A and B are shown apart, each in its own frame.
Chain A
């Protein structure tokens, strides 16, 4: 499935990008027809589109991702350095969202209908209603500009707090809800009653018997969570002017820098597909009841 999805994404990206009117040499006016013909031949653009696609993918897999139209530089090294920044931001947000989501969800389930649960229900409802870019701008407005508590992004003193918060809130709220429902579900199971009857301590029941089973839906959300954080980081990065992949992607959209858009799309799509694959595998490991057909 993952391979099919990857091929589909790269093919869609490639053919869609080919729909754009005008070739790569249309802007250079001084070129004669012969030069264009030579260049076209040199870059294999005279071949059928299917062959072109295979060539592109071949180069792609060898690490040759083309040249940015805007900066005239190789895309791959640039992408690598930016990916480091983005990965740090994204992984922190992912970890924070998952850990706190599970903790809050468990608290919510264990204190059902008492004040901590009520408070968390209100907060998660709000958390799922605010788009990340709205949250990011409002946080920046509040903390960086009105209160002057935190500095705006600075290359030498990077401050990831606000970007991470704005990325993590939505998945965290979602995981809290997921954990709560599955925890409540798990606590009603017969094996919990059995464990209680056997005199297993309360903490062991919660952590070993209930939480382990409650985590299964959370694991399945991991794939969509990665996708959310990747798309979210595009705007969050550009709001906080973090020099990551997201900023560059939005920039390249505005510049209509097609090779760059294409490279980033394929790269991010690959990440998302890998995340989905990992989710499937982890899912299988923690829940042996599930088998792949």
Chain B
């Protein structure tokens, strides 16, 4: 037998002591035994893992719910509510001049008469009406739409420009990086709010004749100039962040491996590097939205916002200032909505950071 041929185990040797085993130990495993080795749990991906942690964060979930409700109202309400944000309430085809400055859930005389006469029920003025006789609820809804639109468009623009710029600078390094980052440094040290104000003032003059009659005219020159300024100035933070991340990641072995088999630069960036800094990018984008909404409402408040008759939450608050003693609700409602949106996005961003940025914990 083979056993006999084997030398006796030396002291402290790691050679297997076959004398301890018998033939039964070398039998094939049955199917049932094999199945015990199967991994039962689904393998988690990075994204799933983060979502699981996010779901456990009550504040973040609450803010998601609040945001969904606000967005749903902003989308659906204009289809349900029969009033328009820009025109005076009409009853039976007639302009209702008595419908100005109504308290919430109140009817004007004409509307009350109409309802009595026909027995039909009119849609209530949930927040009352403004001094021009327009339904205030629908104006707040449109204001919210504008604010959300600005926030999201700005965040997407910052994301795209910052991501491309930052990844090029970070990936190629050297002189390219040096020059590109000097430009970023200069833009970063500019006082952004002042430049925004300045450009809004000027672009308004320039753009108004340019966009007249096009579909852009409805948005107004101010909105467009705001977007231009966001695109010009706000991406630098994102670009710096992406660059820093990429500088770290590009020294990893898998990047070297990809390079050594001749993967083109663009593909390495897309497939290997950007997915690895995705968490920070997501978090920063989420936090960009409230800051853009902040800026928009600020500009609207000092009179550089969307053009009439369109409105935003900031300009609603500004308009309400004149009569805030008599109609405080008109000021409080847009103020609360802005704060709620910004708060919800901030909390969501914090929650995302806790959930996705595992290095922080």
Contacts and interface: CB of A to CB of B under 8 A. Distances in A.
A and B are interacting partners: yes
A227 B206 CA distance: 28
A129 B343 contact: yes
A138 B335 CA distance: 8
Contacts of A13: 198
A8 B342 contact: no
A239 B335 contact: no
Interface string B303-335: 110000000001001000100110010011001
B342 A131 contact: yes
B186 interface: yes
Contact of A231 (B193, B317, B347): B193
B346 A129 contact: yes
B288 interface: no
B205 interface: yes
B189 A19 contact: no
B339 A130 contact: yes
B302 A234 contact: yes
A286 interface: no
Interface string B179-200: 0000001100111011101110
B191 A9 contact: yes
Contacts of B197: 249, 253, 261, 265
Interface in A100-149: 125-126, 128-131, 133-134, 137-138, 140-141, 145-146
> Which of A8, A137, A265, A269 has the most chain B CB atoms inside 10 A of its CB?
A137
B301 interface: yes
Contact of B342 (A129, A146, A254, A272): A129
Contacts of A21: 205-206
Given A17-B202, A145-B324, A238-B302, A8 B194 contact: no
Nearest to A266: B194
A192 interface: no
Interface string B187-223: 0011101110111011001100000000000000000
A12 interface: yes
A253 B206 contact: no
Interface of B is mostly: helix
Interface of A is mostly: helix
B294 interface: yes
B198 A5 contact: no
A61 interface: no
A253 B199 contact: no
A1 interface: yes
Given A16-B202, A141-B328, A253 B303 contact: yes
B189 A131 contact: no
B298 interface: yes
> Which of B195, B201, B339, B347 has the most chain A CB atoms inside 10 A of its CB?
B201
Contacts of A138: 331-332, 335
Contacts of B273: none
B297 interface: yes
Given A129-B346, A133-B298, A137-B324, A250 B303 contact: yes
Interface residues of B, number: 38
A273 B335 CA distance: 32
Contact of A137 (B185, B198, B304, B321): B321
A268 interface: yes
Given A4-B186, A235-B298, A253-B304, A261 B198 contact: yes
B154 interface: no
Given A12-B198, A16-B199, A268 B205 contact: no
A133 B321 CA distance: 11
A19 B317 contact: no
A150 interface: no
B159 interface: no
A272 B198 contact: no
B226 interface: no
A179 to B, nearest CB: 17
A129 B294 CA distance: 9
B298 A254 contact: no
A37 interface: no
A272 to B, nearest CB: 4
B165 to A, nearest CB: 18
Interface in B149-173: none
Contacts of A261: 197-198, 201
Given A134-B335, A137-B331, A231-B298, A1 B304 contact: no
B189 A5 contact: yes
B193 A227 contact: yes
A276 B301 contact: no
A131 B343 CA distance: 11
A209 to B, nearest CB: 24
19 contacts: A9-B191, A9-B194, A12-B195, A16-B198, A16-B202, A20-B202, A20-B205, A130-B339, A131-B301, A134-B317, A137-B331, A138-B332, A140-B324, A141-B331, A145-B328, A231-B193, A231-B194, A256-B201, A272-B194
Interface of A: 1-2, 4-5, 8-9, 12-13, 16-17, 19-21, 125-126, 128-131, 133-134, 137-138, 140-141, 145-146, 227, 230-231, 234-235, 238-239, 249-250, 253-254, 256, 261, 265, 268-269, 272-273, 276
Given A131-B301, A234-B302, A265-B197, 11 more contacts: A1-B185, A13-B198, A129-B339, A131-B294, A137-B317, A137-B321, A140-B324, A141-B331, A249-B197, A273-B189, A273-B191
